[in-house]
Amino acid sequence: MKPGPASQLNKEVLSRIKKLVIEGKTLVEIAKVIDIPYSTVTNWTCFNVEKLSDKIEGWKRDRKLKLAEDKLERILEMNHDEKDTLKVQADIAKFTAETLGKKHYAKRNEVTGEDGKPQEHNINGFNFIRNEEDNTDNKTDS
């Protein structure tokens, strides 16, 4: 099988796509701006060329988190009497920040240990580690 032509998806194009995604542009708009056929851009995303689809999803989350942070900052600076409208905006911004930026904003209520690791419990000098696979507790000496 012959190799196809060199891909136009290089670091410069990726950088331009990232900037446009963060600005909120659609794939159609991005294709026009970077002057590459829309069908090529959709092929890049469908086949995840250079992990473009994954990167776009990450950039979209970054954009939403930035919008939520900006909204929270503007709300904090407001002197506003329309409390119902303000509360809805604040709740939406807070929800977005807590879900997309959970590392920095979420209230941690974990059943597991940090980052999904098993929790250890020390009871009467014994360490217990919860084994989720077989639903038993493994007792180890401390």
CA-wise closest residue to 62 among 103, 91, 109 = 103
pTM of the model: 0.60
Statement: residue 102 has pLDDT above 80: no
* Most confident of the following: 72-76, 102-106, 107-111, 121-125: 72-76
The two three-digit tokens of residue 72, written as one number: 């929270």
**Per-residue confidence (pLDDT) for residue 142, from 0 to 100:** 45
Beta-carbon neighbour count of residue 49 at 10 Å? 14
Statement: residue 1 has pLDDT above 50: no
Q: pLDDT tens, 17-71?
A: 999 999 999 999 999 999 999 999 999 999 999 999 999 999 999 999 999 889 8
DSSP 100-134: HTHHHHPPP--SSSGGGPPPEEEETTEEEEEETTT
Paired strand residues for 136 = 131
Q: pLDDT tens, 61-77?
A: 999 999 988 988 887 77
In the numeric block, the tokens 């098993």 are attached to 118
